A and B are shown apart, each in its own frame.
Chain A
Amino acid sequence: MLETLTPVVATGLFQYAWLLIAIPAIVAALLLILGKVTNGFGHWIASLAPIASFVLALIMFIQLAQAPKADHAVGLTLYTWMTSGAWHFDVGLLIDPLSILFVLLITGVGSIIHIYSLGYMADDPNRRRFFAYLNLFIAAMLILVLADSYIVVFVGWEGVGLASYLLISFWQAKPSAAAAGKKAFLMNRVGDMGLLVAMFTMLALVGSTSFSRVDQAAPFLNSGWATFIGFMLLLAACGKSAQVPLQAWLLDAMEGPTPVSALIHAATMVTAGVYLVVRSGAIYQQTPAAQLAVAIIGTITLLVGAWIGCSKDDIKKVLAGSTMSQIGYMMLAAGIGPAGWAFAIFHLLTHGFFKANMFLGAGSVMHGANGDVDMRHFGALRKAMPITFVTFGIGYLAIIGFPFFSGFYSKDHIIEAAFHAQPVLGVLALIGAGVTAFYMTRLMCMTFFGQARWAKDVHPHESPAVMWVPLVLLAIGSFAGGMALNSWIGEWLAGVGAKAGGHPSWLPHITWIGVVTLVVVAAGVLLGWWLFGKRPVPAQAPQKVSIITTMGRNDLYGDQLTYNAVGRGGAVLARGVDLADEKGLDPLADGTGWVVQTLGDKVRHIQNGYVRTYGVTMAVGAVLIGLALVVSRLV
């Protein structure tokens, strides 16, 4: 994306950029190695770690902003990882406008979520382990976004996968949580394979995986190979970002503690795929086919996610569907090309705020409802938990794109850019916006409005300050993030703005598409209110529902599709291999044994036990060897 900027050598504070990663990594190691000793204070130092990284990143960001444009990318080579033949792998960091925004998002939202977790996990017996994993995640994610080559990205990529696995199955005594962790891990492996193959291809064609070398070489790549790399990177992005067809793990990932859902499965990790696509912009520019594929995958996912979001009663699963859907928007923008990259990152940042806000809000609701997640057991919570209600409401307005809230700026840009690039995608994105408004309104009405449908022993109450203060901070971000970023993010992510080529300014401007979007959103809100706000909501989920709802409740049969597409074939293959083993290899192995045994039975009679026989054999052998030597001399 920033191929126009050549990294300058790090000086001053930037030489210590590795501290950003080292601080949370060391804290995670301390907590895990020292064990129970740190039970009492581990969560405090674990919460300070991302804050320290955030402060460091903020100072770097300010220095970067004050530096002249040409110095906006700073490279810091730490050490040589390995050298093999002509290949040389350095571990290096790249601090540029794109990565520093990510670092701020990860450490900023990460810090807030750490603080929230102090309250949320206060009574958990494994609190120390939880915080250690959270820090591990922060460190891995920072490696991912700060790396200056694909191979180092891969280290972080696997690191966040590990942290995600550990945290989804954090309550590992619950079989469903353990299974969900495994599912996420396995589905991510499929995507990781894409990243690996893409890296192999780069090494074969370019001889390096560093961003600068690959970006330089990208324009000279054969278009077939560029398309191949593009598709492989897309596969990787699909796995990590829960895009169709590798989407099925994200809904189950909600088994993890809610702060984990907020940090990893909404704000940061799942956006790594978008980061990868945007970072590989130089390759995607060579291949319209792969670019279109990214946009199509994004569009499909944004509709699938919204569909699932409409039909779930579990508040976290609605939000998970919505996360898929919003990442779909980002992928769509990333697939539009240079014109969309900055929008993708913009939406990613605002989404990081409002989705983390809503997930933590959902956690707060669950906290007040004894861990219940079924929205049919909520209702009328706005009086019981006013702060949660207000902050959640701000997140709600942000996601549906209510004017002047953050989603309004970022999502409108994407829809508009989609219309300019490919009207069909634009229309679908517009429909997605309407559906988003519908299911989010449904969530709001079922949770905070209407009649109280609480279970008998549930007495909803506002959460403690350690939990609502983070909510307020994120709510401020959800409201102001769009306005704050809108005027300069395009300029900041320079290479993109220049290439956008005559695309209108970044300032808010009223266009007919913007107006239509608002109308569609309003229609969605009205429909949601009419169905779930005006009428009473049954406390039991109705069983006689349309096929559309049934499909949504079953995640559009994603698991069954995966099973039929892969599982069945795998089972047949396994049976075939088993049969080949039994009928083909076993007789072969047994036969060899039989032959050797029979031969041995015959041959062993030569060993008659008489020393003199052995002596003769030896003497004859020695004579034969001597003769052979003599003959070979003569010949």
Chain B
Amino acid sequence: MTSMYVILAVILFAIGLAGFLIRRNALVVFMCVELMLNAANLLFVAFSSHYGILDGQMAAFFVMVVAAAEVVIGLSIIVMIFRSRRSTSVDEVTELKG
């Protein structure tokens, strides 16, 4: 049973990673990051249930809290960038080019 969850998590993570690497829209990239986080969370919970140890569930809560905080900051950065450039393409934000 647990293996199903693991496979689902791998699929979710792969989708998230692919989206993160391929998509240009900052909002979509951002959602993909969330997808990867949730894949990890799913693994935590699945293994917690499998072994009957609560540590994994606790870790899942921590990840949720961090993700929530990250969303706040990430979205506000995206909003700021959109206000100044009228665009959310991640490829246009290249000021840190060496």
Contact = CB atoms under 8 A, between A and B. Distances in A.
Contacts of B29: 611
A608 interface: yes
Contacts of B90: 610-612
Interface string A593-612: 00000000000111111111
Contacts of B21: 612, 615-616, 619
Interface string B27-39: 0010000000000
Q: Which 9 A-B pairs have the closest CB atoms?
A: A609-B94, A607-B98, A609-B97, A604-B98, A611-B90, A609-B96, A615-B21, A615-B20, A608-B97
Interface residues of A, number: 12
A615 B21 CA distance: 6
Nearest to B23: A612
A607 B96 CA distance: 7
Interface in B40-97: 90-91, 93-97
Interface string B11-28: 000000100111000000
Contacts of A605: 98
Contacts of B95: 609
Contacts of B98: 604-609
A568 B33 CA distance: 73
A619 B32 CA distance: 14
A315 B37 CA distance: 94
13 contacts: A605-B98, A607-B96, A608-B94, A610-B91, A611-B29, A611-B90, A611-B93, A612-B22, A612-B91, A615-B20, A615-B21, A616-B21, A619-B21
Contacts of A608: 94, 97-98
Given A611-B29, A616-B21, 9 more contacts: A605-B98, A609-B97, A609-B98, A610-B91, A610-B94, A611-B91, A611-B93, A615-B21, A619-B17
A611 B17 CA distance: 13
A616 B97 CA distance: 16
Contacts of B94: 608-610
A608 B97 CA distance: 4
A548 B56 CA distance: 99
Of the listed residues A605, A615, A616, A619, the one surrounded by the most CB atoms of chain B closer than 10 A to its CB is A615
Nearest to B93: A611
A619 B20 CA distance: 10
A616 B29 CA distance: 13
A608 B98 CA distance: 6
A608 B93 CA distance: 11
A616 B96 CA distance: 17
Contacts, number: 32
A148 B98 CA distance: 69
Nearest to A606: B98
A609 B95 CA distance: 6
Given A612-B90, A612-B91, A607 B20 contact: no
A634 B98 CA distance: 40
Contacts of B96: 607, 609
Interface string A604-628: 1111111110011001000000000
Interface in A412-456: none
A596 to B, nearest CB: 15
A525 to B, nearest CB: 94
Nearest to A622: B17
Contacts of A604: 98
B27 to A, nearest CB: 13
Contacts of A615: 20-21
A607 B93 contact: no
Nearest to A600: B98
A613 to B, nearest CB: 9
Contacts of A610: 90-91, 94
Nearest to B26: A611
A606 B21 CA distance: 17
B18 to A, nearest CB: 10
A607 B97 contact: yes
A604 B98 CA distance: 5
Contacts of B20: 612, 615
A621 to B, nearest CB: 13
Contacts of A611: 29, 90-91, 93
Nearest to A619: B17
Contacts of A607: 96-98
B22 to A, nearest CB: 8
A608 B91 CA distance: 11
Contacts of A619: 17, 21
A610 B20 CA distance: 12
A606 B96 CA distance: 11
Nearest to A603: B98
B89 to A, nearest CB: 10
A54 B95 CA distance: 82
B41 to A, nearest CB: 17
A604 B96 CA distance: 10
B92 to A, nearest CB: 10
A606 B97 CA distance: 8
A607 B21 CA distance: 17
Nearest to A605: B98
B14 to A, nearest CB: 11
A186 to B, nearest CB: 55
Contacts of A616: 21
Nearest to A607: B98
Contacts of B93: 609, 611
B59 to A, nearest CB: 18
B50 to A, nearest CB: 20
Contacts of B91: 610-612
A615 B94 CA distance: 14
Nearest to A611: B90
Nearest to A601: B98
Contacts of A609: 93-98
A606 to B, nearest CB: 7
Nearest to B32: A615
Interface in A93-142: none
Nearest to A608: B97
A612 B94 CA distance: 11
A328 to B, nearest CB: 76
Interface in A62-108: none
A626 to B, nearest CB: 12
A608 B29 CA distance: 19
A616 B95 CA distance: 19
A226 B22 CA distance: 83
A609 B97 CA distance: 4
A612 B97 CA distance: 13
A606 B95 CA distance: 14
A611 B20 CA distance: 10
B1 to A, nearest CB: 24
